[in-house]
């Protein structure tokens, strides 16, 4: 005989419309009293809804992602009827006693529910559909947010696959190990295949320098996270170069070498004042901008071990000769490998100059969490039409890469035009 019962959500306090984050049983499953059937998660707690009796699940009425309250039907269950009651119901009162012993109450004629043995290794992440939430408590979710772990990728080792604190820690450790070795990460980007280049000729292996290894991972992360756009422009620096040359003799007496970079730094600081969105960083929540009230400029320096970006602070309050001196000192320490950690932090915007090498244009990678970087290549004499005739002018290519989440194309064009105007007339740098 069968006794079909409805299992409803019991009194769960003041909670209503609570999310179902896990369904632990299916039709045909046998359960014992107090076995968990579903898991709910509110803003404050995670709770299991147990079965009030033993029996076999006949139908599950809800699914992951739905919301339930007290009284919501979870499932129907065919209750297990004790064996002695079944015997009493099936045997007539006048019938002789059976010759074979009746099974004891402790013996259930139905097969006993089998508990699966714990797996030798953790199961793969559970495939979830829609907005289903991973099986974890609010405290674990908060911890995962703090350390940047995607819980949908974490394998839970707790009961019914529940994610524990240690699971999140192990996930982060494994992710860091993959980043260190260059293996495929949780971004889903496949790793490059390994190739045996010696099949086509002799080879030798040369390890990357420490700076190359560190900067490589940093640039890769920046390229994946920042939507890059590059705006190309050029500035007429004919008069600026004449002025720079006139300062060389005076500066040489002080042991200072004045390069175009000092003027570029001053121009960038002026542009950051005029366009505060460029002197900003995107907050970690992605909803706010952190506007900076200081003007520190990073300058990429080419060293034997790779590029480093020391930062010159308070550029807006320094003169050209003072900037040239500060730049010379920090560049020398960079090439000698003597930069302190704080000398490479706190930049508002960076400049990457290839003018001493060559090129006509390139796309510099934004030095996140900054939102823009200025690249310059070698200046060249170009015939420019002045309305009546062509005149030879020294033109400097400008390559402005920016984070499109913060800066749009029109802002980038205005910023670049401001730079070009400031560089064309060096007197504007004094304003």
Distances (CA, A) of 73 to 9, 35, 40, 50, 228: 6, 17, 14, 13, 51
CA distance 287 to 303: 38
pLDDT at 46: 64
CA distance 371 to 403: 5
Active site residue 220: no
| Domain ranges for the chain | 4-90, 138-181, 210-430
pLDDT higher for 79 or 16?
Answer: 79
pLDDT at 274: 96
pLDDT at 158: 74
Average pLDDT over residues 195-201: 90
Is residue 366 over pLDDT 80? yes
Is residue 131 over pLDDT 50? no
**pLDDT single digits (tens) 93-108:** 444 444 444 444 444 4
pLDDT at 417: 97
Average pLDDT over residues 146-175: 80
Is residue 185 over pLDDT 70? no
Average pLDDT over residues 115-133: 42
Is residue 399 over pLDDT 90? yes
- Mean pLDDT is highest, among 68-77, 185-194, 401-410, for 401-410
CATH topology of domain 138-181: Dihydrolipoamide Transferase (4.10.320)
Cis geometry, peptide bond prior to residue 369 (ω within 30 degrees of 0): yes
Q: Where are the beta strands (DSSP E) in 33-126?
A: 36-41, 46-50, 55-60, 67-68, 73-79
pLDDT at 19: 82
CATH topology of domain 210-430: Chloramphenicol Acetyltransferase (3.30.559)
CA distance 135 to 357: 56
Distances (CA, A) of 144 to 134, 138, 173, 189, 426: 11, 10, 13, 22, 51
Average pLDDT over residues 20-33: 87
Residues 10 and 49: beta-carbon distance below 8 Å: yes
Mention every residue, 6+ apart, whose C-beta is less than 8 A from residue 395.
234, 235, 236, 237, 379, 380, 381, 382, 384
Residues 400 and 363: beta-carbon distance below 8 Å: no
CA distance 179 to 148: 14
CATH topology of domain 4-90: OB fold (Dihydrolipoamide Acetyltransferase, E2P) (2.40.50)
Is residue 273 over pLDDT 70? yes
Distances (CA, A) of 192 to 177, 189, 198, 199, 202: 17, 9, 17, 18, 22
For the entire predicted model, the pTM comes to 0.57
**pLDDT single digits (tens) 220-240:** 888 888 999 999 999 999 999
- Indicate the average pLDDT of the chain: 82
Average pLDDT over residues 323-334: 92
| Orientation angle between helical segments 138-147 and 165-181, nearest 10 degrees | 20
Residues 5 and 53: beta-carbon distance below 8 Å: yes
**pLDDT single digits (tens) 251-269:** 777 788 899 999 999 999 9
pLDDT at 106: 42
CA distance 39 to 16: 14
Pick the catalytic residue from 220, 228, 232, 404. Answer: 404
pLDDT at 97: 46
């Amino acid at each position: 005989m069968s006794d079909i019962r409805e299992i409803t959500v019991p009194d769960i306090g003041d909670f209503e419309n609570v999310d179902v984050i896990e369904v632990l049983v299916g039709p045909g499953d046998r359960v014992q009293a107090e076995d968990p059937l579903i898991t709910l998660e509110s803003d404050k707690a995670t709770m299991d809804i147990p079965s009030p009796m033993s029996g076999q699940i006949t139908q599950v009425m809800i699914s992951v992602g739905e919301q339930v309250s007290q009284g919501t039907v979870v499932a129907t269950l065919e209750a297990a009827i004790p064996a002695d009651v079944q015997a009493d119901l099936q045997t007539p009162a006048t019938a002789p006693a059976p010759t074979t012993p009746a099974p004891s109450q402790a013996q259930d004629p139905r097969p006993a529910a089998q508990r699966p043995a714990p797996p030798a290794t953790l199961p793969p992440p559970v495939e979830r559909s829609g907005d289903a939430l991973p099986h974890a408590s609010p405290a674990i979710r908060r911890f995962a947010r703090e350390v940047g772990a995607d819980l949908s990728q974490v394998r839970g080792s707790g009961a019914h696959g529940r994610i524990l604190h240690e699971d999140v820690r192990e996930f982060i450790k494994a992710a860091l190990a993959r980043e260190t070795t260059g293996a495929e990460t949780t971004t889903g980007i496949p790793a490059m295949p390994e190739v045996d280049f010696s099949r086509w000729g002799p080879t030798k292996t040369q390890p990357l320098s420490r700076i190359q290894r560190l900067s490589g991972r940093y640039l890769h992360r920046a390229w994946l996270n920042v939507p890059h756009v590059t705006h190309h422009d050029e500035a007429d620096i004919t008069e600026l170069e004449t002025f720079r040359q006139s300062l060389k003799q005076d500066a040489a007496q002080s042991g200072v070498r004045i390069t175009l970079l000092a003027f570029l730094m001053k121009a960038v600081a002026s542009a950051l004042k005029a366009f505060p969105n460029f002197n900003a960083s995107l907050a970690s929540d992605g909803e706010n901008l952190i506007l900076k009230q200081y003007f520190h400029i990073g300058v990429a320096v080419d060293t034997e071990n790779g590029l480093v970006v020391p930062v010159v602070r308070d550029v807006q309050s320094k003169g050209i000769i003072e900037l040239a001196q500060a730049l010379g000192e920090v560049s020398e320490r960079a090439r000698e490998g003597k930069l302190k950690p704080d000398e490479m932090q706190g930049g508002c915007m960076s400049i990457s100059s290839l003018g001493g090498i060559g090129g006509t244009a390139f796309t510099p990678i934004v030095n996140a969490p900054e939102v823009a970087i200025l690249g310059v290549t070698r200046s060249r004499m170009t015939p420019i039409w002045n309305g009546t005739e062509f005149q030879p002018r020294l033109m400097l290519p400008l390559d402005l890469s920016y984070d499109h989440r913060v800066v749009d194309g029109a802002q980038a064009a205005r910023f670049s035009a401001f730079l070009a105007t400031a560089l064309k007339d060096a007197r504007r740098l004094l304003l």
